[in-house]
Structure 1
Amino acid sequence: MSVEESTARTTPRKRHPRGLPALWGTEMWERFSYYGMRAILVLYLVAPSSRGGLGLPPTTAAGIFGVYGGLVNLLAVPGGWLADRLWGAHRTVLGGGLVIAAGHCALALPLAAAGTYLGLLLIAVGTGLLKPNISTMLGGLYDVPGAPAAHGTARRDAGFSLFYLGINIGAFAAPLVTGWLGERVDWHAGFGAAAVGMLLGLTVYLRGSRQLRPAGPPPRTRATTHQLQRAAAWAGCAVGAVAAVVAVVVAAGLGALAGVLYALSALTLVVPALYFVAMFRAPGLDAVDRSRLRAYIWIFLAATVFWMIAEQGGSLISLFAQRHIDRALFGWQIPTGWFQSAGPLYGMLLAGVFAALWLRLGHRQPSTAAKFALGLAGLGVATLLMAGAGLAASDGRRASPLWLLAAFLVQVLAELCLSPTGLSVTTRLAPHRFAGQIMSLWFLSVAAGSALSAQVVRLSDILPYDVYFAVLGAAALLCAAAVALARSSLRRLMRGVS
């Protein structure tokens, strides 16, 4: 027996749960499929039919991208409910993975617009089922009865760090593969690579299912027949409302696609508003709970503005890169989709630096409001860099790719200030009885921001790129200033949560 084997047997507390590699591989390949498809989606939507695309106007393509992103995050809410009250996390993740794979396969087939929209809908539904529950299963691996005692906070945090490293690896590698295949070979070949990624993720998940089942047991409290009927009624109301808006828009002569985009954008904004109303009307909340919920409204709005601008990195900025960035390198043209790998690469390099920085600062680190202000200000600077790129390309020349790489770097720095802080403060502000539901609101802030971006990008039809990005950058800086000025008021509302 080697020294290493002996040590592993005598000190089990140094090991992670056996199911961790399966979840790590599943999430890495699922993110590979998700970000690989996103890297070429808008490029495919605007490509002329002679090049195998759908030939849509740029703002329509960016709108589809935004609504799709909103729907993915919106559906995470019922996805979590179905796992908690009906199927359990294990079955929900497996079902979600199968639906995602079906969606990518639909995109990989040359089925024109019908296959594209069906594929996007299936991927959104499947991701809503998988995304919130695979993280729950990872936490469950460390709570399984009989797990080593050292599977506690430190080991759990290390496990989640490895998990998110897998996410970034998948997000980094995917555009390099799908971008080259989609732009150099065939769009459907790129989508096919994303489908293969999801199928590999499913294979990893099924091979490790024996170790994963204890982490995703059936729900302890199943939904009653009345609760299922009420959920079905709410879903029916949502579908009916979407259909009504589409009918009105079609009657106004704007077309069915525009109607769907307007309806889904509105739904994504209405749902979080209803969530807040329901929580404020719930009996049993004390003054502290209500004060903290009021504080969270402002945090939610600030996060929505952040995601409204940040989510355009995969849509309008990708189209800008294709048409106005100099992509020549030693006589070879860099695929546009490759720029989408910059953000995950920066994230892998910088996430640990930020985590170490906050730990080192300890009680001297900035407050939640200050971190949000820094995040919004950083996003404003990143967007102003894009305005500089637009100005450099305004005379018909192509701007240097350094503009784009610098903008993505600053945006990632901004996101590292705001996003982890938002997740953390969400858990700390939540009234005990709404701990799970208020976490859903964080997903809904991303959904609302994505949906708003689908409408805001329409301004790029009437504004040149430099002016458009300058307006967005100024808006982010104004929001940052507002949050910074309101930090004392927010601190009072948060009642002891810094």
Structure 2
Amino acid sequence: MKPSMDMQKPPASDAAPDAAAVGGKRHPRGLATLVLAELWERFSLYGMVAILVHFLAASRGHGGMGLHEGTAEAVEGVYMAMISLLALPGGWIADRFLGARRAVLWGGVVIMAGHALMAVPNPVFVWPGLVLIVIGTGLLKPNISALVGRLYAADDDQRRDAGYSIFYMGINLGAVIAPLVVGYLGEEINWHLGFGAAAVGMALGLVQYVLGGRRLSEQLRAEPVVRLTPAERAKVGKSSAYGLVFTAVLVTLLAASHALSIDTITFVLTVVAVVVPAGVLLSMYRSPKIDRVEKTRLRAYVWLFLAATLFWLVYDQMGNELNMFAAQKTDLSLLGWHIPASWTQSLPSLFVIILAPVFAAFWVRRGKHMSTPFKFGLALLLTGASFVVMSSAAAIASSGVKVSLMWLVGVYVIQVMGEMCLSPVGLSVTTKLAPRAFTNQMMGVWFLAAATGDAIGAQLPRLDAVIGQSWNFLWQGAMVIAAGAVMVLFTKRLKVLTGEAAAAREAVAVAA
């Protein structure tokens, strides 16, 4: 799971709280509507993702797509990367075109349509189904999180944080339940029945979102924050037309050279996921709107961005590489029954639910003594260590013996501990280091770290066939551990660049 991706905390609304919130004791009535909508959206997404790589790699005789294993894993990873990438334009569309409430509604409708297409037992509907889910999630995902923050008055920080905690639990509850339901139906009965269950889940979310709309209309405007002017609309239309023409030309050239394939598309999208964040950060750095201090902090942020990219590069391989490892090389016998491999995808979210309160209490007590760069470094050390453990598991499995499920349980515990070190502070440090002229855009940039990491990580399982899976896990784990060690060693320098060192000195002076 990605708390940092699903828990965007925008500026609070200055609207008055509703009747349920008066007195500061109860949460706004609209919170339940948003929590349930997000729970069912996460149910649909993570349920489908739990079986996607298995469906893509399964032979046509077993109802799958018959893709090469490396291709199937790349598709799953790039698919998740595009979801993160489109969160950026999804927020912009809500701000300038639809408004957050309508963006959530239409996003849910498009997601449901995508799942419904994948439920049709015909391979031709799979790719348009995936495209629709990506587009719909890009609309819904950032904007439903924004609506949660706007339920509360500007000075109601304590209840807003508590509201996000409830929202966060809804996210993870949906992600825990989804693989159990969709995974069983897809793996044990029929793939398309599983996709159909995901569509039903999204439909349930939409129904309760519409029925609960009255709880939102009392507080939240349905209109965009700032509508596009006619001149801006013309500019957007022109840029979109250029983009479509460029895409059409690229596809035509690839087809003419007989290079148009699923693998080629995943490689192109991986390049896009790397180039876009680099271009955004570079354009910010070169902007005349930021001063010398902001440039220094932006340079520091680049190191944190790269660290987050490496983290997600490893962490999000749970949906493809570790998912396939569960299916092929793990003993899934539990109490005399063979559980579906997709059920292992419930473990990370389950551990998030268990460990989040523990880490929250720890950060309250000890967090002020640990800087953001140090926390990022610790996250990398833990996540890299998880792949060193996977290397050992893969080495044992290479002899033809299936390994115990406890190997994956241990790996997911280590990874979630790493996530607890990185995700809670990611958006916070992004806000602190953002140049004043790009405060809102920087929130989207943080999402791009996951997109870049997911896209690159999507291609790495292909190396299994070249160097072996055990060595593939090992070099990735060693690389991330080395990056974590560098972050820890240069913590003092990064604290100076981020301004944390100066803030700490001021705090000591005030206390004295």
TM-score range, shorter chain: over 0.9
**In the alignment, residue 118 of structure 1 is paired with which amino acid?**
P
Partner of 1:133: 143
5+ residue gaps, structure 1: 1-7, 145-150
Distance 1:288 1:67, change over 3 A: same
Separation in structure 1 between the aligned mates of residue 470 and residue 289 of structure 2, nearest angstrom:
51
Partner of 1:473: 477
Among 60, 68, 79, the alignment partner of 2:71 is 60
Tell me by how many angstroms 1:490 deviates. 1.4
Among 393, 396, 411, the alignment partner of 1:407 is 411
Q: What are the Cα deviations for residues 165-210 of structure 1, in whole angstroms up to 9, with x where unaligned?
A: 0000000000000111111110011111111110000011001111
Secondary structure of the corresponding residue to residue 385 of structure 2: helix
Kept after mapping to 2: 8 A contact 1:168/1:347:
yes
**In the alignment, residue 115 of structure 1 is paired with which amino acid?**
F
Tell me by how many angstroms 1:215 deviates. 2.0
Task: Say yes or no: does 1:313 pair with 2:323.
Answer: no
TM-score (norm: length of structure 2): 0.91
5+ residue gaps, structure 2: 1-18, 505-512
342-351 or 463-472, which deviates more: 463-472
Question: RMSD value over aligned CA atoms?
Answer: 1.9
Q: What are the Cα deviations for residues 213-264 of structure 1, in whole angstroms up to 9, with x where unaligned?
A: 3324312421112222333344444444544554555455444222221221
Distance 1:490 1:240, change over 3 A: farther
Separation in structure 2 between the aligned mates of residue 251 and residue 480 of structure 1, nearest angstrom:
45
Among 123, 127, 132, the alignment partner of 2:133 is 123
Tell me by how many angstroms 1:104 deviates. 0.7
Separation in structure 1 between the aligned mates of residue 281 and residue 396 of structure 2, nearest angstrom:
44
Separation in structure 1 between the aligned mates of residue 290 and residue 296 of structure 2, nearest angstrom:
10
**In the alignment, residue 84 of structure 1 is paired with which amino acid?**
D
Among 67, 82, 93, the alignment partner of 2:93 is 82
Among 29, 39, 44, the alignment partner of 2:40 is 29
Tell me by how many angstroms 1:265 deviates. 1.3
Secondary structure of the corresponding residue to residue 28 of structure 2: coil
246-255 or 162-171, which deviates more: 246-255
Task: Say yes or no: does 1:339 pair with 2:344.
Answer: yes
**In the alignment, residue 430 of structure 2 is paired with which amino acid?**
T
**In the alignment, residue 326 of structure 1 is paired with which amino acid?**
D
Task: Say yes or no: does 1:396 pair with 2:406.
Answer: no
Kept after mapping to 1: 8 A contact 2:290/2:437:
no
Task: Say yes or no: does 1:329 pair with 2:334.
Answer: yes
Partner of 2:214: 210
59-68 or 208-217, which deviates more: 208-217
Among 374, 378, 382, the alignment partner of 2:378 is 374
Partner of 1:38: 49
TM-score (norm: length of structure 1): 0.93
Separation in structure 1 between the aligned mates of residue 213 and residue 486 of structure 2, nearest angstrom:
49
Task: Say yes or no: does 1:304 pair with 2:309.
Answer: yes
Distance 1:98 1:453, change over 3 A: same
Among 38, 44, 48, the alignment partner of 2:59 is 48
**In the alignment, residue 398 of structure 1 is paired with which amino acid?**
K
Aligned residue-pair number:
483
Among 159, 173, 179, the alignment partner of 1:175 is 179
Separation in structure 1 between the aligned mates of residue 126 and residue 474 of structure 2, nearest angstrom:
33
Kept after mapping to 2: 8 A contact 1:380/1:477:
yes
**In the alignment, residue 269 of structure 1 is paired with which amino acid?**
V
Partner of 1:111: 122
Separation in structure 2 between the aligned mates of residue 356 and residue 303 of structure 1, nearest angstrom:
23
Separation in structure 1 between the aligned mates of residue 22 and residue 215 of structure 2, nearest angstrom:
20
Separation in structure 1 between the aligned mates of residue 262 and residue 256 of structure 2, nearest angstrom:
13
Aligned pairs for 1:67-466 (under 5 A) are 67-112=78-123, 114-143=124-153, 152-213=156-217, 214-247=219-252, 249-250=254-255, 253-364=258-369, 366-466=370-470
Secondary structure of the corresponding residue to residue 331 of structure 2: coil
Kept after mapping to 1: 8 A contact 2:38/2:170:
yes
